[in-house]
Amino acid sequence: MASGMSVELFNGEGNTNLSSFNQSSPPSCNIDESYKYIFLPICYSFTFIFSITLNSVVLYRSFRHTKRWNASLIYMVNLASTDFMYGLSLPFLVASYIMRDNWVFGDFMCRLVRFLFYFNLYCSIFFLTCISVHRYLGICHPMKTITLETKRAVKGTCVLVWVLVFALTCPIFRFAQTEYLPRGGEAEGIGVTANGQSTDGGADGFTNCWDDAIDKEFQDYVPYGITLHLVGFFLPFSIIAWCYSHVVLTIIRTLRSRPSAEDGGGALGRSGGMSGAEGMSIILGAHSPYVHRRRKSIKTIITITLLFALCFFPFHVTRTIFLILKVTNRVECHTMRMVSICYKITRPLASFNAWLNALLYFLTKEKSSPCCPKPEPVQHGLLWPLRMMGRAGEEEDGGGDEAMNNKGNEPKAEADILRGLP
């Protein structure tokens, strides 16, 4: 596709006029974009089906089958809500690409659909950041988490995220718009001469829905686009990387301290006391009530890391390169062709977060009853590892009387364990 006085390369999934900014372009640059009329409808149809289905299940189960909500579930419901809203906009994009970029739904729907993509994208990133910080506090600072897990604090954080993301993305309504363009030779590729005249001479036209901005407003859009990337992606990505590095280090230190605590099990049974490190090891041990939180946090870390690696990171890197190259002189045609292909591939991958986010709910959901579970028997409670260690010491040393004396020290040992928590 080509526009009258420009080199048409790419604009998200649509078109971008480049020659007015890159005056040193090669005399002719052919960009074959016929593949997008097959690739993009398939990707967006796939995303539409899965995002609507999976997020509907998440919302239904959350509101109908969950009586007691925790902080993670509140964040997941907000995440599923924005993913569901974005999924509703995808049929418009699919219809537009089936009609070979012809937008027939009006200027307002063009602005709304483009806005919903970025609004969902950065809502997802910010809510995943909130979940990551929550997991970090639960593992590294469990006592501080108690004061930060109140429903009022979590709901206030969610409202802040919605307001902040809307403020970041509302300029999309200003820049995204429709424009009538002449129809070029899509199948054969786009040929544009040095003076900006199309080489295919097509006389037909279509209404294009711009993702970024039209030619004359693109210079104003670039600073906003770069700022959106820095605040909406790279800053949350840095926070998540910092949190997960500390979570991993904490888990590694805990696992390394467990053998020493297990070796000192007999001595513990005889003395009735323990050090802070040993107490932490037992609390985070295999039979501890905290082991579920640790395993759940590991699943969350892996899932969110994969989400960023597949959906968010490639899109923002290629899009940043796109914005820079579009206002840079002396860019070779093969470079622009490569960036065009990479950008068009990563754009629908970024939309995959609308259904991949729901997998986080299913991977980390509680396996127990949604209401308050019944208390476990005493022999499987917090002191059960201590009793087992005391019995092991009794069997090895034959100290039956010492094991009986340790029963009176269990409340003190429990207090020592709780004081040893970070």
Residue in 306, 304, 298, 305 with CA at minimum distance from that of residue 251:
298
pLDDT of residue 147: 59
Stretch 291-319: mean pLDDT, rounded? 83
Q: What are the residue ranges spanned by the domains of the chain? A: 36-190+216-255+290-367
AA identity, residue 281: S
AA identity, residue 242: W
pLDDT of residue 422: 38
- The Cα–Cα gap between 45 and 87 comes to 10
Stretch 174-192: mean pLDDT, rounded? 66
- The Cα–Cα gap between 191 and 188 comes to 9
Instruction: Render pLDDT for 125-144 as a digit per residue (tens, 0 to 9).
Output: 999 999 988 888 878 877 66
Stretch 319-332: mean pLDDT, rounded? 83
- Per DSSP (E only), the strands in 53-134 are none
pLDDT of residue 233: 94
Select the more confidently predicted residue: 19 or 181: 181
> Which residues, in sequence order, are CB contacts of 51 under 8 Å at separation 6+?
83, 84, 86, 87, 90, 354, 355, 358
Render 187-201 in DSSP notation, one character per residue.
Answer: TT-B-B-TTS-BSS-
CATH number corresponding to 36-190+216-255+290-367 = 1.20.1070.10
Instruction: Render pLDDT for 13-31 as a digit per residue (tens, 0 to 9).
Output: 544 444 444 444 444 566 6
pLDDT of residue 367: 54
Stretch 82-86: mean pLDDT, rounded? 95
- The Cα–Cα gap between 372 and 181 comes to 61
- Tell me how crowded residue 318 is: count the other CB atoms within 10 A of its CB: 21
- The Cα–Cα gap between 271 and 291 comes to 26
pTM of the model: 0.72
With a cut of 80, say whether residue 239 has pLDDT above it. yes
Instruction: Render pLDDT for 67-77 as a digit per residue (tens, 0 to 9).
Output: 788 888 899 99
- The Cα–Cα gap between 12 and 31 comes to 15
Stretch 253-269: mean pLDDT, rounded? 57
pLDDT of residue 352: 93
**Percent with pLDDT over 90 in the chain:** 34
Instruction: Render pLDDT for 359-418 as a digit per residue (tens, 0 to 9).
Output: 888 877 755 444 444 454 544 444 544 454 444 444 444 444 444 444 444 444 444 434
- The Cα–Cα gap between 67 and 63 comes to 8
pLDDT band at 276 (very low <50, low <70, confident <90, very high): very low
With a cut of 70, say whether residue 116 has pLDDT above it. yes
Select the more confidently predicted residue: 234 or 198: 234
